[in-house]
Amino acid sequence: MKVVGLILGGGAGSRLQPLTAERAKPAVPIAGKYRLVDIPISNCINSGIRNIFLLTQFNSVSLHQHIGHTYRFDQFSGGHVRILAAEQTPDSAGWFQGTADAVRRSMRYFNDDQPDIVVILSGDQLYRMDLDEMLQEHLAKGADLTVSTKPVPREEAQALGIMQTGKDGRIVQFAEKPGDTVMLDNLKSPRDDDTYLASMGIYIFNMDVLKEVLCNCEEIDFGKHIIPGAIDKYKVYSYIFEDYWEDIGTIRSFWAANLALTEALPQFSFYDMSKVIYTRMRYLPPSKINQCALSRCLLSDGCIISGERVDHCVVGLRALVGEGSIVEDSILMGADFYEHGQVDDPSGIPIGIGKNCRVKNAIVDKNCRIGDNVVISPEGKPENEQTDLYWIREGIIVIPKNTVIPPGTVL
């Protein structure tokens, strides 16, 4: 039996702006040293799925670079991670219009692997799943299509795609974002615990069924169109996933999911070596702490920290924090390079956080130059405010990539 994994690169990522202004959603850094795309690729590899395709469209250069530098399978064990970018063809001259449309228009490429089973995954979620366990349940039930679902409380279910199943797990009804309505009352999970089964956007298709449902219609989205339409015609089952899963769809969820990793016993851990999360090997030096009170922090490779205090933070690769600075409840994404003894910017401000700065409830994207005595905080600023130096999103202040903030600035 041949299995391929398809990872959907997502759309423009407008809810994650400005982090997606210059990169695709799956290329957004997470936990200091990883990229979001490392999660589904690692889940595939750890589950024995080694023929993997990544469907991309928006701002895909940095994503392509990361894949090219990271996932190189040797000729003896086999396998690949291949980029399938949106392209103009004699049959189609436009962009991917949705998840189903992306898979439909890429089918001729992954079909060359002659798969029996296709596993479809999202490129912007944080979770660890044994996909082989889901696959075995799919085969045991004789399913045509299996949808991974997660039990959620009523307040979360209102804005998600909710499945109603029979006691055997077969899906009999689906509602997209039902709201707080009578319809939602009729969609409770069969476990009698006041939860609802929400789609995780992870699907297993038999290849022949995938061809049928995509080639016999022009619908563009799996969640809105393909899955609801398949319920009556095919054997569609739910696979219930009980572990940690977070959809990284907004600035707030991105900020919260990152900072949750700093807890003593986080719900999701990158320290499970039985199911490694893979990423690019960079051969950076160890991080150096000249002086600083550090607590509840993830500290990535190659950092130089000289601040007064860094508390409840994720500190990315090559991050620099100057003397006397205090950083709290924030994500510092670090830098793509070091400046070797000279400042490579007309402003004269070195890369990193300067001296005696105050940073709170912030996301500072890569390669930012923060001058001395700068204050960065969302306090007192209106929601959705946007300037050349910062964006306010859901109570978080975001400093876009490559931003230069002059000394003494109070944001």
Name residues of the chain where pLDDT drops below 50.
Answer: none
pLDDT at site 50:
94
pLDDT at site 294:
97
Give me the CATH topology for the region 3-260.
Spore Coat Polysaccharide Biosynthesis Protein SpsA; Chain A (3.90.550)
Closest CA to 127 of 15, 244, 220, 238: 244
Model pLDDT for residues 103-158, shown as the tens digit of each residue: 888 888 888 889 999 999 998 899 999 999 999 999 999 999 999 999 998 888 88
For the chain, give every domain's residue range. 3-260, 288-405
Give SS3 for 215: helix
**Three-class DSSP labels, 71-85:** CCCCCCCCCEEEEEE
pLDDT at site 89:
56
pLDDT at site 88:
53
pLDDT at site 341:
78
Alpha carbon distances (Å) from 249 to 37, 124, 253, 364: 14, 7, 7, 18
Strand partners, 8: 55, 122
Model pLDDT for residues 319-339, shown as the tens digit of each residue: 999 999 999 999 999 999 999
Strand partners, 360: 328
Closest CA to 30 of 384, 296, 334, 396: 334
Question: DSSP assignment of 135-193, as one string?
Answer: HHHHHHTT-SEEEEEEEE-HHHHTTSEEEEE-TTSBEEEEEES--SSHHHHTTB-TTSS
- For 288-405, CATH number out of 3.40.50.300, 1.10.10.60, 2.60.40.10, 2.160.10.10 equals 2.160.10.10
Residue pair 361/395 in contact (Cβ under 8 Å)? The answer is yes
The contacts of residue 284 (CB under 8 Å, 6+ apart) are 301, 302, 317, 318
Quote the CA–CA distance of 288 and 301 in Å, as a whole number.
9
Quote the CA–CA distance of 37 and 66 in Å, as a whole number.
9
Q: Torsions phi, psi of 99, nearest 5?
A: -60, -45
Tokens 């920290």 sit at which residue? 305
Closest CA to 401 of 57, 12, 23: 23
Quote the CA–CA distance of 4 and 396 in Å, as a whole number.
38
Write the Ramachandran bin of 318: left for phi over 0, alpha for psi from -120 to 50, otherwise beta.
Answer: left
pLDDT at site 93:
52
The radius of gyration of the chain from alpha carbons, rounded to an integer in Å, stands at 23
pLDDT at site 237:
96
Alpha carbon distances (Å) from 20 to 40, 367, 383: 19, 15, 19
